[in-house]
Amino acid sequence: MPKLHHYDNLNTARFVTFCCYHRQKLLVAPSVIETFLEALSNARDTHKFRLLGYVIMPEHVHLVIHPRVETKLGPLIGEMKSKSAAKIIANNLISLPEICLKTVDGKQKHSFWQPRCYDHNCRTPETVLEKINYCHNNPVRQGLASEPGDWRWSSYNWYAGKKGVAIEIDEFEELALKE
């Protein structure tokens, strides 16, 4: 498997995508999504990155984050995925399908996430806004919601000023949300 390169240390926001194992729809139950959001929040506290936008889809996640300059993206996302998967599997929050079984060191174990993540450096505020809007419109494009505000698992409602959002977003003063 070829190595994916992450261009770290550029002091830019990053649009990050990662998928459930074999793109299975494992991010459906609220308890599973909330467990991932907890891991995201803990990673933000530990690594001091700014969360600018997100969407959690049934089989993948998009994040718009602004990590600290010295942060390596691959290990950061790997830690978030590892901690969320361990808790989801240990607490039997969902029944993982057979396709999620893999053999490691002669033992079968479940995998929740595909290895790796994909990222894009957002070099301008306009690109950051484009990626945040992409996140917010993803459930509409996929037929999961008729409007972005109908999808509970994105940052859209925080930007719309609604209360009771799943996770708070960090201010990004350069942006004014456009629909």
pLDDT digits (tens, 9 = 90+) for 143-166: 999 999 999 999 999 999 998 899
Alpha carbon distance 106, 80 (integer Å): 26
pLDDT digits (tens, 9 = 90+) for 108-137: 888 899 999 999 999 999 999 999 999 999
User: Does the pLDDT value for residue 21 go beyond 90?
Assistant: yes
Q: What is the pLDDT of residue 178?
A: 41
Is the separation of the CB atoms in 37 and 155 below 8 Å? no
Q: What is the pLDDT of residue 110?
A: 84
Alpha carbon distance 34, 170 (integer Å): 19
Fold classification of 13-159 (topology level): Alpha-Beta Plaits (3.30.70)
Within 10 Å of residue 2's Cβ, how many Cβ atoms?
A: 4
Q: What is the pLDDT of residue 6?
A: 57
pLDDT digits (tens, 9 = 90+) for 61-107: 999 999 999 999 999 999 999 999 999 998 988 888 777 787 778 88
Q: What is the pLDDT of residue 98?
A: 75
> Quick one: average pLDDT of 21-39?
96
Q: What is the pLDDT of residue 177?
A: 42
Tokens 């190595």 locate to 3
Q: What is the pLDDT of residue 176?
A: 46
Alpha carbon distance 76, 9 (integer Å): 13
Please give the model's pTM, rounded to 2 decimal places: 0.89
Within 10 Å of residue 56's Cβ, how many Cβ atoms?
A: 25
Which residues make Cβ contacts (< 8 Å) with residue 109, sequence separation at least 6? 101, 102, 103
